[in-house]
C-alpha cells in the first residue's frame, strides 16, 4: 500500500507591488511532510497563514526571493507573532544578505523577548546553488533577472529507494544487509546461486515531485534548464502582451512569456501570478497563457495546488 | 443653511498583538474635512485602507501611539505604496522618537525613488502636548501607561465663529470690518447710536466635536481630565474582568475599566477594541462595558462611527 505524502502549494498572496482588495502581496507555502516552506513574505502573510489554518509551528524555513517590499514586509510581523506564540525553534531565512541590515533594528527592538535564533543564509546571484536539504527534500536557488538581485527557488523531493516486496524477504530469507542493497537496485543471489533480478524483487518508488518558484523576472529562457520537467511551476506574469514593452522595461514578464517558460521547461502545470493592480480581472492573462501552455491556472489567494504522487 | 462637515472614525484593525482571521492589528482613520488622520498603522493597514476606498492622497499625518509591532508594522508598506502611487506631499509622523531608527534602514532602501519627505515629530511622554493644528482641527497627545512608552491622542475641532444673519448685514449696512467683530461676539452700534445685541445678529456655530484614542494602557483615571466631555472615545479593552489581574500585570485594561473611563470622562459614546485573540467572541466585552457605560460599541473592522454636528 502506498502512503500518500503531501506536496502542495498554497497561494497566500498573488498581487504585485500594490496589494488590491482581494489579493495580498506575494507569499506562498509549500507543504511537504512535516513542514511548510514559506516562500516570500509580503505584508499580511501572517494573517493569510492564520486564515488558511496553517500551523505556525511548522514554519522554520523562509525563502525570500528579493528585497522589494511586496516580497518581505510581512516578515517582521510573522517573526514577532512566532515569538508571541512561544515558539522556540530556530528560524532559517534564505535571502539577499542585505535583508539582515534592513530588519535587524526591528529584531533588536524585539530581542529582549526573542526566544529563537534567526539565522540568515545569503543567496548566490551568480549561479544555481543547493541551499537546503533534509531526508526528503532539497531546495536550490537560481538567479533570475530583475531591477533588484533576485533568485527563484526549486524544491525537489529526494528520490526514494525502490520498495522491496515483503513476500520475497520471507521466501528467500534475505538478510538485512542485502535488503539495503536491493533497495538501491542490486539483484539478489540465493544461497544456491540463483540470481533473482532486482526488477522482480522490487517495485518502483513514487517519482520525486518538484516545484519551481519564479518571481519578478524578465523573460529568461535559460532558467528552463534547471527547472526542466518540473511538476508545478509558478511564474510571475505582471502584465499581458499588450504591455510587453513596459514589461521588458520594468524587467517583468507577460502571461505569454510565463507560458513559454512552462512550455520550454516541459512543466506539468503552470500557475501565473503577481498581476499588476491595474488589471481589473485576470481573464486576459489566462487566455494568453493558455494559448501557449494549456495547463495554466491564474493564482488565487487561498487556493491550494496539489502535486499527486505517481 | 448649515453645511454638514465630516468628523468620523473608521476602524481598520481592532485586534491586539495577534491578528485573527477577521481582525487586523490596530489602525484607524479619523475623517475630517479635506483629510484623513491615520492613527496607528498595524500590519495590513494599506490593505484595509484600499478596502474602505479611503483616498491614499488625503493621508499626510500619521499618529503612532507606541512601538509595539501591532501598532506600526504596516507603516513601511504604506509609505512604499504612497510612493508607488506617485504621491509627493510630505508625510508627518507623530511617534516615539525611536521609530525613526527602526524604519530608517528600510526608508533608505526605498530612498532612491522616494518622492516625498518623511518628517518625524517625537512624542512627549511626560505631559499632554499640542502636536498638530490647522484651521479646523487641533491634536493633542497625552501619556498613557503601558510596557512601552505610549501616548493617547485627542482630536478637537477648533470652535467656529458665530454665524451672522445675512438679512441684518443688508438692513443695517454693516461694514466688513464690523462683521469680523460681530462673528467673535461683539454687539453692533448703528449710525444713529442704537445697539443691536450680538445674540440678535448671530446664531450659534455648531459645537466643536472631539475624538480621543486611548490604546494600550492600564486603567488610568487621571486621563479623564484631558478627555473630559469628549464626543467619541476609543479605549482599549484587551481583557474582560475575569482576567483583571492579568490585565493589570500586562498593563492593559478590561472592558469594565474602559467603560469606567468613559463614564468619568462624560464621553458621548465609547468604542472598545484591541481584544485579545484568546476570546472567541466579543459579547462578554460588550455586556461588561455596557453595565457601566450604556452607549458602548465593540469595534469591528470596517465600521465607521460618525460624530454628528450639533
Q: Quick one: what percent of chain A has pLDDT higher than 90?
A: 86
Our CA-based measurement puts residue B137 at a distance from the nearest CA of chain A, in whole angstroms, of 31
In 10 A of CB B192, how many CB atoms? 5
Mean pLDDT value across residues A152-158: 97
B3 and B263 Cβ atoms separated by less than 8 Å = no
Residue A308: which residues within 8 A CB-CB, separation 6 or more? Answer: none
Binding residues of B: 66, 68, 70-71, 146, 216, 274
The residue of B22, B47, B80 whose CB has the most chain A CBs within 10 angstroms, and thus the best one to mutate to test that interface, is B47
B67/A109 Cβ within 8 A: yes
B51/A73 Cβ within 8 A: no
**C-alpha to C-alpha distance for B106 and B229, rounded to whole angstroms:** 41
A38 and A45 Cβ atoms separated by less than 8 Å = yes
B81/A50 Cβ within 8 A: no
β-strand partners of A142: A152
Residues of B with CB under 8 A from a CB of A: 17-21, 24, 43-44, 46-47, 50-51, 67, 69, 73-74, 76-77, 80-81, 84-85, 98, 101-106, 109-110
Q: Would the annotation count A235 as a binding residue?
A: no
Write out pLDDT tens, residues A82-137: 999 999 999 999 999 999 999 999 999 886 678 999 999 999 999 999 999 999 99
How do strand B8-13 and strand A304-306 relate by DSSP bridges?
unpaired
Chain B's closest residue to A52, CA to CA, is B21
**Coil, helix or strand at residue B19:** coil
Chain A's closest residue to B80, CA to CA, is A69
Q: What is the DSSP string of chain A?
A: -PPP---EEEEEE-B-SS--SS-PSSEEEEEETTEEEEEEE-TTHHHHHHHTT--GGGEEEEE----SGGGTTTHHHHHHHHHHTT--S-EEEEE-THHHHHHHHHHHHHHTT--S-EEEEEPPSSS-EEEEE-SSEEEEEEE--SSS--EEEEEEEPPPPPEEPHHHHHHHT--HHHHHHHHTT--EE-TTSPEEPHHHHEEPPPPPPEEEEE-S----GGGGTTTTT-SEEEEE--B-GGGHHHHHHTT--BHHHHHHHHHHTT-SEEEEE-B-TT-S-SHHHHHHHHTT-SSEEE--TT-EEE----
B21 and A49 Cβ atoms separated by less than 8 Å = no
Q: Would the annotation count A231 as a binding residue?
A: no
Over its length of 310 residues, how does chain B's per-residue pLDDT go in tens digits? 445 789 999 999 999 999 998 999 999 999 998 899 999 999 999 999 999 999 999 999 999 999 999 999 999 999 999 999 999 999 999 999 999 999 999 999 886 678 999 999 999 999 999 999 999 999 999 999 999 999 999 999 999 999 999 898 888 889 988 999 999 999 999 888 899 999 999 999 999 999 999 999 999 999 999 999 999 999 999 999 999 999 999 999 999 999 999 999 999 999 999 999 999 999 999 999 999 999 999 999 999 999 998 8
**Which position has the grid cell 512543466?**
A267
Nearest to B50 among A21, A84, A104 (CB): A21
A84/B17 Cβ within 8 A: yes
Catalytic residue status for A70: yes
Residue A1: pLDDT band (50, 70, 90) is very low
> Alpha carbon of B191 to those of A180, B167, B194: distances in Å?
117, 17, 7
Binding residues of B for Zn(2+): 66, 68, 70-71, 146, 216, 274
Residue A110: what pLDDT? Answer: 83
Q: Which CATH superfamily is domain A8-160+206-306 in?
A: Ribonuclease Z/Hydroxyacylglutathione hydrolase-like (3.60.15.10)
Chain A's closest residue to B18, CA to CA, is A81
Residue A168: what pLDDT? Answer: 87
Residue B237: what pLDDT? Answer: 98
Q: Would the annotation count A113 as a binding residue?
A: no
Which among A22, A40, A70, A90 is annotated as catalytic? A70
Residue A274: what pLDDT? Answer: 97
Candidates B124, B303, B297; CA nearest to B226 is B124
Nearest to B77 among A43, A80, A81 (CB): A43
Candidates A93, A134, A90; CA nearest to A114 is A90
- CB contacts of B19 in chain A (<8 Å) are 46-47, 50, 81
Our CA-based measurement puts residue A281 at a distance from the nearest CA of chain B, in whole angstroms, of 17
- CB contacts of B102 in chain A (<8 Å) are 105-106, 109
B162 and B184 Cβ atoms separated by less than 8 Å = yes
Our CA-based measurement puts residue A280 at a distance from the nearest CA of chain B, in whole angstroms, of 14
- CB contacts of B103 in chain A (<8 Å) are 105-106
**Coil, helix or strand at residue B221:** helix
Our CA-based measurement puts residue A140 at a distance from the nearest CA of chain B, in whole angstroms, of 27
- Farthest-apart Cα atoms in chain B, separation: 75
Residue B211: what pLDDT? Answer: 98
Write out pLDDT tens, residues B85-100: 999 999 999 999 999 9
**C-alpha to C-alpha distance for A292 and A294, rounded to whole angstroms:** 6
Residue B82: what pLDDT? Answer: 95
Q: Three cell numbers at B125?
A: 511622554
Residue B247: what pLDDT? Answer: 97
Query: Domain residue spans in chain B?
Result: 8-160+206-306, 163-203
DSSP state of B148: S
- Predicted-complex ipTM score: 0.91
Residue A255: what pLDDT? Answer: 98
Write out pLDDT tens, residues A52-85: 999 999 999 999 999 999 999 999 999 999 999 9
Which among B22, B40, B70, B301 is annotated as catalytic? B70
- CB contacts of B51 in chain A (<8 Å) are 21
What is the spatial order of strands in the sheet that A27-32 belongs to?
A118-122, A91-95, A59-63, A35-41, A27-32, A8-13, A304-306
Residue B1: what pLDDT? Answer: 45
* Kind plus residue range of the DSSP H or E element containing B138: strand B137-143
Chain A's closest residue to B278, CA to CA, is A85
Residue B246: what pLDDT? Answer: 97
Residue A290 has pLDDT above 50, yes or no: yes
Mean pLDDT value across residues A144-168: 94
Amino acid at each position: 500500500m502506498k502512503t500518500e505524502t503531501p506536496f502542495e502549494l498554497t497561494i497566500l498572496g498573488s498581487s504585485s507591488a500594490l496589494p488590491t482588495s482581494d489579493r495580498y502581496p506575494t507569499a506562498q507555502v509549500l507543504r511537504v511532510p512535516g513542514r511548510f516552506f514559506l516562500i516570500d513574505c509580503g505584508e499580511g502573510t501572517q494573517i493569510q497563514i492564520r486564515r488558511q489554518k496553517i500551523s505556525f509551528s511548522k514554519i522554520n524555513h523562509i525563502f525570500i526571493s528579493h528585497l522589494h517590499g511586496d516580497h518581505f514586509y510581512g516578515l517582521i510581523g510573522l517573526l514577532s507573532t512566532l515569538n508571541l506564540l512561544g515558539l522556540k525553534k530556530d528560524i532559517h531565512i534564505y535571502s539577499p544578505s542585505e535583508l539582515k541590515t534592513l530588519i535587524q533594528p526591528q529584531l533588536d527592538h524585539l530581542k529582549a523577548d526573542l526566544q529563537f535564533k534567526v539565522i540568515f543564509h545569503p543567496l548566490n546571484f551568480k549561479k544555481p546553488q543547493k541551499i537546503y536539504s533534509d531526508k526528503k527534500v532539497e531546495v536550490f536557488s537560481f538567479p533570475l533577472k530583475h531591477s533588484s538581485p533576485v533568485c527563484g527557488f526549486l524544491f525537489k523531493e529526494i528520490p526514494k529507494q525502490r520498495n522491496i516486496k515483503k513476500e520475497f524477504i520471507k521466501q528467500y530469507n534475505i538478510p538485512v544487509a542485502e535488503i539495503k542493497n536491493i533497495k538501491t537496485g542490486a539483484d539478489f543471489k540465493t544461497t544456491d546461486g540463483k540470481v533473482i533480478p532486482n526488477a522482480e524483487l522490487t517495485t518502483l518508488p513514487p517519482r520525486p515531485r518538484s516545484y519551481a518558484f519564479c518571481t519578478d523576472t524578465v523573460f529568461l529562457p535559460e532558467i528552463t534548464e534547471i527547472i526542466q520537467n518540473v511538476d508545478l511551476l509558478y511564474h510571475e506574469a505582471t502584465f499581458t502582451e499588450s504591455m510587453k514593452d513596459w514589461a521588458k522595461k520594468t524587467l517583468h514578464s507577460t502571461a505569454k512569456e510565463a507560458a513559454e517558460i512552462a512550455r520550454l521547461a516541459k512543466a506539468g502545470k503552470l500557475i501565473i501570478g503577481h498581476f499588476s493592480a491595474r488589471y481589473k480581472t485576470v481573464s486576459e492573462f489566462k487566455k494568453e497563457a493558455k494559448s501557449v501552455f494549456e495547463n495554466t491556472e491564474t493564482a488565487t489567494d487561498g487556493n491550494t495546488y496539489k502535486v499527486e504522487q505517481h
